[in-house]
Chain A
Amino acid sequence: MSAVLSAVPRRRAGAWLLHPAAKPLAFAAALVPLAWLVYGAAADALGPNPAEALIRATGDWTLRFLCLTLAVTPLREGLGLPALARFRRLLGLFTFFYAVLHFLGYAWLDMGFDAAAIARDIPKRPFALVGFAALLLMAPLAATSCRRAIQALGAPRWQALHRAVYAVAGLAILHFFWMRAAKHNFAEVAVYAAVLGLLLGWRLARRWRRA
């Protein structure tokens, strides 16, 4: 009886996630930060150092989308909302999208697309190297995000490959930590590290329970 009662609101709560407009809406919402930054850049509303503001903001949004992507499975299982799984690929691809913008911002605004200078600059700076490694690691995940890739790889292999996202999370936090180390300004780093730690910890705990 009680199981039935609690299942009803859950099904209702998840219903909007299955609405045909839900995915387009999520897609549009994920583009809002970009639209805001483009407007800010065009209207000179990004402060005295707009290049720095753009690079930092795209980095922040990469971290936020990474947190959202990794939150899908815990929320889906914890809240009993299987329909959330429909948004995982979209969120993962937007993580990659903002990471690419973040890198392009650096390559364009900081380095003027000078490939030789970029190739010299990245290995010189550990924090840049770590961020670049995270971006490279994300590329195969983005490339194998379609249904056909899952079928071609087979689910177990696909899943093993996509566990690389945990390494991406670690590298991303290290990148942010090193970048902020100069000013001993770790408050924001700690927030992202706590969120990502919680999401990865939940997975470890689940694995331990199952074993």
Chain B
Amino acid sequence: MSFLRSARQGHDHPVPSEITPRAVFEQRRELLRQFAAGSAGAVLAAWAGREAGAQTAARPGLLAALPGARSGVPGAAVMDKQTRYADATGYNNFYEFGTGKDDPAALAHTLRTRPWSVAVEGAVAKPRSFGLEELLKLAPMEERIYRLRCVEGWSMVIPWVGWSLAELIRRVEPTGNAKYLEFHTLADPQQMPGLRSRVLDWPYVEGLRLDEAMHPLTLLAFGMYGEVLPNQNGAPLRLVVPWKYGFKSAKSIVKIRFVEQQPRTAWVRAAASEYGFYSNVNPKVDHPRWSQATERRIGEDGLFTKKRPTLMFNGYEAQVGQLYAGMDLAKHY
């Protein structure tokens, strides 16, 4: 059954029969580890170690635990192999800490995530500020295993922990004027050395249409890999919108505004011809400077593996395609 997929069914709805029993996969991992540690030679061992790491979903044990229950939202748990924690936390973009992909891991230790609050304002009946402790208890934490596709052409699979943003939106009661949401990332030059660069207009602003923000897959994440978010990945809370390019998922959020006009996001302001407001993952609409048809899965594909085809809406077409019915996606890129 699992080999037969249709677009109608969407992707990766696991059925109990295709989930590998724990004993079996543990045995496989043990074999891989033995291979990694064994006599295969340093060269093979390194690659085998990478393989073993990619399959391990165990807690890394570096930060405070933040468990999430299995989510019932369709599409919330892809069966793709998860990216190694070291790769997901050591290779990413967070320009507030520099434009190199190893800069965030090296420099984000200066970010202070407590105390933290998020101002929710604009076209809502109940505007107010939410403290982090309150947000952590606002709704039950769920684990969501999402594909992450960067606009630069690489991808990962990350187990996030959080709850649907819709939970927060319902509590502040948007008015009829609320058509879009604007997300503001913290912009404190004391904590964020990257703000010295003028690569973007700070603060980093991202946005979603209200119906996109209300979609159950749109996640307000507080953790990953069963632990609280590391600073470099957008602690203490960030957005995760799995069908859009990664930059749409604003990190270290301090403000959420409900507005009537489509927000002018940081990347639209920087290069409107290259980055649109929607920025849905779309293999058929190329970035002006590179193709978006394929992607490289970090840490999984071997060095000489051909890049894999990028999926429409990053594989979430069955869940989110109807949001864009009738829209010209080449025009609204």
| Chain A residues close to B by CB (< 8 Å) | 41-45, 47-52, 54, 108-110, 112, 114, 121, 124-127, 182-185
Beyond the given pairs A43-B42, A48-B90, A183-B199, 8 more chain A to chain B contacts, judged by CB atoms under 8 angstroms and listed by A's residue number, are A43-B46, A48-B298, A52-B154, A112-B307, A127-B289, A184-B197, A184-B199, A185-B100
Q: Point out the residue from B154, B291, B303 that lies within 8 Å of A109, measured CB to CB.
A: B303
Number of interface residues of B (CB under 8 A): 30
Decide yes or no whether B170 CB sits under 8 A from chain A: no
User: Which residues of the partner chain B approach A185 to less than 8 Å between Cβ atoms?
Assistant: 99-100, 199
Q: Point out the residue from A42, A54, A110, A121 that lies within 8 Å of B43, measured CB to CB.
A: A42
Q: Point out the residue from B101, B197, B299, B307 that lies within 8 Å of A110, measured CB to CB.
A: B307
User: Which residues of the partner chain A approach B49 to less than 8 Å between Cβ atoms?
Assistant: 44
Is B296 within 8 A of A51, CB to CB?
yes
User: Nearest chain A CB to B86's CB is how many angstroms away?
Assistant: 8
A-B contact pairs, 19 of them (CB 8 A): A43-B43, A43-B46, A44-B46, A44-B50, A45-B46, A48-B86, A48-B90, A48-B298, A49-B154, A51-B296, A52-B296, A108-B304, A112-B306, A124-B291, A183-B99, A184-B197, A185-B99, A185-B100, A185-B199
Using known A-B contacts A41-B303, A44-B46, A183-B199, determine if residue A49 contacts B289 with beta carbons closer than 8 Å.
no
User: Nearest chain B CB to A103's CB is how many angstroms away?
Assistant: 16
Using known A-B contacts A47-B102, A48-B91, determine if residue A121 contacts B291 with beta carbons closer than 8 Å.
yes
User: Which residues of the partner chain A approach B86 to less than 8 Å between Cβ atoms?
Assistant: 48
Is B290 within 8 A of A125, CB to CB?
yes
Is A49 within 8 A of B46, CB to CB?
no
Decide yes or no whether B47 CB sits under 8 A from chain A: yes
Q: For the complex, give the distance between the alpha carbons of A139 and B86 in Å.
A: 41
Q: Point out the residue from A44, A49, A109, A124 that lies within 8 Å of B286, measured CB to CB.
A: A124
Q: Please give me the residue from chain A that is nearest to B83 by CB atom.
A: A48
Using known A-B contacts A41-B303, A43-B42, A48-B299, determine if residue A125 contacts B91 with beta carbons closer than 8 Å.
no
Is B91 within 8 A of A49, CB to CB?
yes
Q: For the complex, give the distance between the alpha carbons of A114 and B310 in Å.
A: 17
User: Which residues of the partner chain B approach A112 to less than 8 Å between Cβ atoms?
Assistant: 306-307
Decide yes or no whether B87 CB sits under 8 A from chain A: yes
Q: Please give me the residue from chain B that is nearest to A112 by CB atom.
A: B306
Name the prevailing secondary structure of the B interface residues.
loop
Q: For the complex, give the distance between the alpha carbons of A126 and B46 in Å.
A: 37
Decide yes or no whether B8 CB sits under 8 A from chain A: no
Is B99 within 8 A of A184, CB to CB?
yes
Q: Identify which of residues 255-269 in chain B touch chain A, using a CB-to-CB cut-off of 8 Å.
A: none
User: Which residues of the partner chain A approach B198 to less than 8 Å between Cβ atoms?
Assistant: 184
Using known A-B contacts A108-B304, A109-B303, A184-B99, determine if residue A47 contacts B91 with beta carbons closer than 8 Å.
yes
User: Which residues of the partner chain B approach A109 to less than 8 Å between Cβ atoms?
Assistant: 303-304
Q: For the complex, give the distance between the alpha carbons of A50 and B301 in Å.
A: 10
User: Which residues of the partner chain A approach B291 to less than 8 Å between Cβ atoms?
Assistant: 121, 124
- Nearest 3 pairs between A and B by C-beta? A112-B306, A44-B46, A48-B91
User: Which residues of the partner chain A approach B84 to less than 8 Å between Cβ atoms?
Assistant: 48
User: Which residues of the partner chain A approach B50 to less than 8 Å between Cβ atoms?
Assistant: 44
User: Nearest chain A CB to B42's CB is how many angstroms away?
Assistant: 6
User: Nearest chain B CB to A183's CB is how many angstroms away?
Assistant: 4
Is A125 within 8 A of B289, CB to CB?
yes
User: Which residues of the partner chain B approach A43 to less than 8 Å between Cβ atoms?
Assistant: 42-43, 46
User: Nearest chain A CB to B92's CB is how many angstroms away?
Assistant: 9
Q: Please give me the residue from chain B that is nearest to A178 by CB atom.
A: B289
User: Nearest chain A CB to B16's CB is how many angstroms away?
Assistant: 33
Is B306 within 8 A of A49, CB to CB?
no
User: Nearest chain A CB to B25's CB is how many angstroms away?
Assistant: 23
Is A49 within 8 A of B197, CB to CB?
no
Which of B47, B50, B101, B303 has the most CB atoms of chain A within a 10 A radius of its CB?
Answer: B303
Q: Identify which of residues 32-62 in chain B touch chain A, using a CB-to-CB cut-off of 8 Å.
A: 42-43, 46-47, 49-50
Q: For the complex, give the distance between the alpha carbons of A121 and B287 in Å.
A: 12
User: Nearest chain B CB to A108's CB is how many angstroms away?
Assistant: 7
User: Nearest chain A CB to B282's CB is how many angstroms away?
Assistant: 16
User: Which residues of the partner chain B approach A52 to less than 8 Å between Cβ atoms?
Assistant: 154, 296
User: Nearest chain A CB to B157's CB is how many angstroms away?
Assistant: 13
Is B87 within 8 A of A48, CB to CB?
yes
Q: For the complex, give the distance between the alpha carbons of A185 and B303 in Å.
A: 27
User: Nearest chain B CB to A106's CB is how many angstroms away?
Assistant: 11
User: Which residues of the partner chain B approach A124 to less than 8 Å between Cβ atoms?
Assistant: 286, 291
Q: For the complex, give the distance between the alpha carbons of A52 and B307 in Å.
A: 12
User: Nearest chain A CB to B56's CB is how many angstroms away?
Assistant: 16
